[in-house]
């Protein structure tokens, strides 16, 4: 603000010099007076924005009475308007320069705030590095859970394969038992056919035995009847036979012998038939008992096979139910594993996205900080440049602080008091140069 006040005081000095030029800038023929000479030794503006004073060392002052008469200066109005316009322009330039100083101060505050923010971000960046181990630990936990789920899945797959092997074994055993049952049923049918045929053979043999017994009885009766008839015919018939008297025939003995022979033959035939039929009957009875025993054994085996089949069927149903439950558990485990994997992948993606966003934010903030640092550097350079310019302007203004205001009469070359006229000498000029930076463009006003 001291620079702004210095600039305003410089402009006021310029106004004073211009007014002095207006007082001493009329030519010959515009009025006659001896002249007024003022010497200002110092002009200075303090930091509080007020004029402390104007030190004027007046060596000599002589007033001509003719100066009390009204003067016809014939000043051009456009000149005063241009001077007023210059004054307003200088004021606006001073205001703009003050606003630029305020803007510089605001930018310095922003720079300090950005420095503080950068320090905070650096501190957050140092603390943020602790997030990655947390992510790694969380991801490691998820990987361990995935490994446990995969191990459970492998274990369940092994149990499923074992159960499938057991089911296949029981299935093969069941098929073997079914084949045995079919074979036993076929054997039972064959044995039943053999038993039926043996029973039929037994019935036929019994019928044959009955028929042979009836035939033997009939032949015995016929033999007895023939024997009786023969005996009767022998009694009633008288036969004259010339025989050798040297031999004596005993017919009763012969008949008895023949009868004994026939009876012996019949007895042997009957005994042989009875023995054959008895042996056949015993053989068929033994076979029938054997077939009955085998039939009972087969029936017991069939019942045992039926019980085994029912037990295997119940076991197969239980194994099927267990297999279904294991398949359901495996499906649930797979679903849970897939869901856990999806959640882990989603969390991993979210964490990676968050990390990527954090990195992008950090990179963006670093870029912004770099841009701000570049802007700060440019502003520092401009501030230093303006400070040097202002210091140079203050030095120049300090050197030109002594102003000479001279008024010279156009009628006399020398005043009565002995002062020389200086109508042709030009008044001192004050140059004001204002440089302002706006939107990266610099312009100057003189």
Burial 305-325 (b: 16+ CB within 10 A, else e): beebeeebeeebeebeeebee
The set of residues, in sequence order, having a beta carbon less than 8 Å from that of 269 and lying 6+ positions away, is: 216
Q: Could you tell me if 180 and 308 lie in one domain?
A: yes
Residue that has been written with the tokens 């990266």 in this structure: 440
Inform me whether the pLDDT recorded for 214 exceeds 80.
yes
Co-location of 176 and 278 in the same domain: yes
Give bridge partners of residue 38 from the DSSP assignment: 405
Q: Which of 437, 187, 133 is nearest to 299 (CA)?
A: 187
Answer whether 431's CB lies under 8 Å from 446's CB.
yes
Residue 386 near residue 435 (C-beta atoms within 8 A): yes
Same domain, 38 and 187: no
Whether the CB-CB separation of 73 and 26 falls below 8 Å is answered with yes
**Do 397 and 11 form a contact (C-beta atoms < 8 A)?**
no
Percentage of residues in the chain with pLDDT exceeding 90? Answer: 0
Distance of CA 446 to the CA centre of its chain: 69
210 in any annotated domain: yes
Helix (H) or strand (E) holding 438: strand 434-438
**187 lies in the same domain as 294:** yes
Question: What is the per-residue pLDDT across 128-164, written as a single tens digit (0 to 9) for each?
Answer: 556 677 778 888 888 888 888 888 888 888 888 888 8
End-to-end CA distance of the chain: 21
Question: 297-318 pLDDT, tens per residue?
Answer: 877 888 888 888 888 888 888 8
Looking at 277, 305, 327, which one is the last position of a domain? 327
Q: 251-399 and 131-236 helices cross at what angle (nearest 10)?
A: 170
12 half-sphere exposure, CB direction, 13 A CA radius:
13
Q: What residues contact 10, with CB distance under 8 A and at least 6 apart?
A: 393, 397, 430, 432
CA 109 to chain centre: 45
Measured CA to CA, the distance from residue 89 to residue 102 in angstroms comes to 20
Kindly state whether residues 174 and 317 are assigned to the same domain: yes
Residue 270 lies in a domain: yes
Specify the range with the lowest mean pLDDT, choosing from 93-107, 180-194, 288-302: 288-302
Residue 216 has pLDDT above 60, yes or no: yes
In a domain, 21, yes or no: yes
What's the mean pLDDT in 337-365? 84
Q: Of 327, 356, 371, which residue is a domain's last?
A: 327
Helix (H, G, I), strand (E, B) or coil at 431: coil
Q: Show which of 327, 348, 367 is a domain's final residue.
A: 327
Q: 221 with 79, same domain?
A: no
Token duo for residue 309: 């089949």
- pTM for the predicted model, two decimal places: 0.26
Q: Residue 35, class by beta-carbon neighbours within 10 Å (0-12 exposed, 13-18 middle, 19+ buried)? A: buried
- Highest average pLDDT, of 71-85, 248-262, 265-279, comes from 265-279
Q: Is residue 352 part of a domain?
A: no
Instruction: pLDDT band for 239, please (50, 70, 90 cuts).
Output: very low
The count of domains in the chain is: 2
* Average pLDDT of the segment spanning 249-253: 67
Least confident span in 51-65, 99-113, 122-136: 51-65
What are 114-133's pLDDT values in tens digits? 888 888 877 765 555 566 77
Instruction: Say yes or no: 41 and 179 in one domain.
Output: no
- Burial code of 62-73, b = ≥16 C-beta within 10 A, e = fewer? eebeeeeeeeee
**pLDDT score recorded for residue 46:** 39
Q: How many CB atoms lie within 10 A of CB 23?
A: 15
In this structure, the answer to whether residues 72 and 204 fall within a common structural domain is no
Could you tell me what percent of the chain has a pLDDT over 70? 66
Residues 6+ apart with CB under 8 A from 224: none
The tokens of 115 are what?
Answer: 């420095």
Burial 408-423 (b: 16+ CB within 10 A, else e): bbeebeebeeebebbb
Q: Is residue 353 part of a domain?
A: no
The DSSP secondary-structure symbol of 65 reads: G
Residue 216 lies in a domain: yes
Q: Are residues 315 and 184 in the same domain?
A: yes
Looking at the domain assignment, is residue 225 inside a domain? yes
Range picked from 31-35, 243-247, 250-254, 375-379 for highest mean pLDDT: 375-379
Residues 312 and 435 in one domain: no
> Which range has the top average pLDDT, 29-43, 58-72, 118-132, 270-284?
270-284
pLDDT higher than 80, residue 64: no
- On whether both 310 and 171 belong to a single domain, the answer is yes
Which among 56, 43, 58 has a CA at the least distance from the CA of 12? 43
- 200 and 114 housed in the same domain: no
CA distance 106 to 114: 12
User: Is residue 81 within 8 Å of residue 65, measured between CB atoms?
Assistant: no
CA 93 to chain centre: 63
For 30, the enclosing helix (H) or strand (E) is: none
Provide mean pLDDT across the span 91-97: 82
From the CA atom positions of the chain, what is the Rg in Å? 77
The answer to the question of residue 354 being in a domain is no
SS (H, E, C) 341-401: HHHHHHHHHHHHHHHHHHHHHHHHHHHHHHHHHHHHHHHHHHHHHHHHHHHHHHHHHHHCC
The answer, yes or no, to whether residue 378 has pLDDT greater than 70, is yes
Q: Which domain, by its residues, includes 8?
A: 2-128+402-439
Helix crossing, 251-399 with 2-24: angle to 10°? 30
């Amino acid at each position: 603000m001291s620079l702004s006040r210095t600039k305003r005081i410089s402009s006021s000095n310029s106004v004073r010099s211009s007014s002095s030029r207006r007082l001493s800038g009329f030519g010959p023929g515009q009025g006659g007076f001896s002249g007024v000479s003022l010497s200002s030794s110092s002009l200075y503006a303090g930091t509080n924005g007020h004029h402390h004073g104007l030190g004027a060392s007046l060596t000599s002052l002589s007033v001509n009475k003719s100066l009390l008469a009204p003067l016809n200066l014939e000043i051009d109005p456009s000149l005063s308007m241009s001077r007023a316009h210059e004054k307003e322009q200088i004021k606006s330039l001073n205001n703009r320069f003050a606003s630029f100083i305020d803007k510089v101060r605001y930018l310095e505050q922003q720079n300090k705030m950005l420095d503080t923010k950068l320090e905070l971000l650096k501190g957050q960046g140092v603390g943020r590095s602790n997030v990655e181990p947390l992510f790694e630990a969380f991801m490691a936990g998820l990987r361990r859970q995935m490994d446990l789920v995969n191990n459970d899945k492998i274990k369940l797959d092994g149990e499923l394969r074992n159960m499938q092997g057991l089911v296949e074994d029981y299935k093969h055993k069941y098929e073997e038992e079914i084949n045995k049952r079919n074979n036993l049923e076929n054997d039972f049918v064959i044995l039943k056919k053999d038993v039926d045929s043996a029973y039929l053979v037994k019935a036929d043999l019994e019928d044959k035995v009955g028929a042979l017994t009836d035939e033997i009885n009939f032949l015995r009766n016929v033999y007895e009847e023939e024997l009786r008839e023969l005996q009767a015919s022998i009694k009633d018939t008288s036969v004259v036979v010339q025989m050798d008297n040297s031999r004596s025939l005993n017919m009763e003995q012969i008949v008895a012998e023949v009868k004994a022979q026939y009876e012996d033959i019949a007895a042997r035939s009957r005994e042989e038939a009875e023995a054959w039929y008895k042996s056949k009957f015993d053989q068929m009875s033994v076979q029938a008992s054997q077939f009955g025993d085998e039939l009972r054994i087969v029936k017991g085996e069939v019942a045992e096979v039926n019980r085994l089949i029912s037990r295997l069927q119940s076991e197969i149903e239980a194994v099927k139910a267990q297999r279904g439950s294991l398949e359901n558990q495996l499906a649930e485990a797979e679903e849970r594993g897939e869901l856990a994997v999806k959640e882990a992948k989603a969390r991993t993606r979210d964490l990676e996205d968050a990390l990527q966003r954090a990195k992008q934010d950090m990179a963006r903030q670093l870029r912004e900080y770099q841009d701000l640092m570049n802007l700060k550097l440019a502003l520092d350079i401009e501030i230093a440049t303006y400070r040097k310019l202002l210091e140079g302007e203050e030095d120049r203004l300090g050197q030109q602080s002594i102003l000479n205001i001279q008024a010279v009469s156009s009628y006399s070359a020398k005043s009565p008091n002995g002062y020389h006229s200086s109508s042709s000498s030009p008044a001192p000029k004050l140059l004001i140069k204002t440089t302002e930076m706006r939107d990266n463009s610099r312009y100057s006003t003189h």
